């Protein structure tokens, strides 16, 4: 099965989340987390840090990622590993393929007309809230 990752990156103050607008299918034009493919034989966490750097310019030393959850899609066949983390310092992001932007947390992340993943973005954000004590050094006011 092909592996993929999604990475929820939060600003140093925990108030904003890094998102991208997809430029290709699936979900072309919709908002998503950054991420990409896990290469055959590659460790999932190593792939998350690699993809994060390739997609945004954020280096391993800029953030500590926590593996939050996994999704398995046997009929596709693929799986997705979801990571989350808060930046340790302010960084300048660099768009690779998909335009990046910082989103506030007052959005309806379950809106499937705006967000990729058939509601999974909203599901992921809710689990980040539940596990905020394991992800954030300092909680944002949106929690």
Mean pLDDT of the region 50-70: 98
For residue 65 the two structure tokens come to 């990622």
Per-residue pLDDT tens over the stretch 106-127: 999 999 999 999 999 999 999 9
Q: What is the pTM of this model?
A: 0.95
What pLDDT does residue 31 have? 98
Mean pLDDT of the region 78-99: 96
- Cα dist from 37 to 12, 13, 116, 131, whole Å: 26, 29, 16, 25
What pLDDT does residue 137 have? 80
Q: Which domains does the chain have, with CATH numbers?
A: 2-135 (3.90.79.10)
- Give the span between the Cα atoms of 34 and 50, in whole angstroms: 11
CA atoms 105, 132, 58, 63: torsion sign: positive
């Amino acid at each position: 099965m092909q592996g993929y990752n999604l990475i929820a990156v939060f600003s140093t103050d925990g108030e904003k989340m890094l998102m991208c607008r997809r430029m290709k299918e699936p979900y072309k034009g919709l908002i998503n987390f950054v991420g990409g493919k896990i290469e055959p034989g590659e460790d999932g966490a190593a792939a998350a840090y690699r993809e994060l750097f390739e997609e945004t310019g954020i280096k391993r030393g800029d953030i500590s990622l926590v593996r939050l959850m996994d999704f398995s899609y046997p009929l596709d066949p693929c799986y997705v590993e979801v990571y989350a983390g808060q930046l340790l310092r302010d960084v300048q992001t660099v768009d690779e393929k998909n335009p990046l932007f910082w989103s506030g947390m007052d959005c309806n992340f379950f809106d499937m007309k705006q967000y990729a993943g058939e509601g999974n973005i909203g599901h992921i954000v809710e689990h980040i809230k539940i596990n905020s004590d394991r992800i954030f050094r300092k909680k944002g006011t949106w929690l």
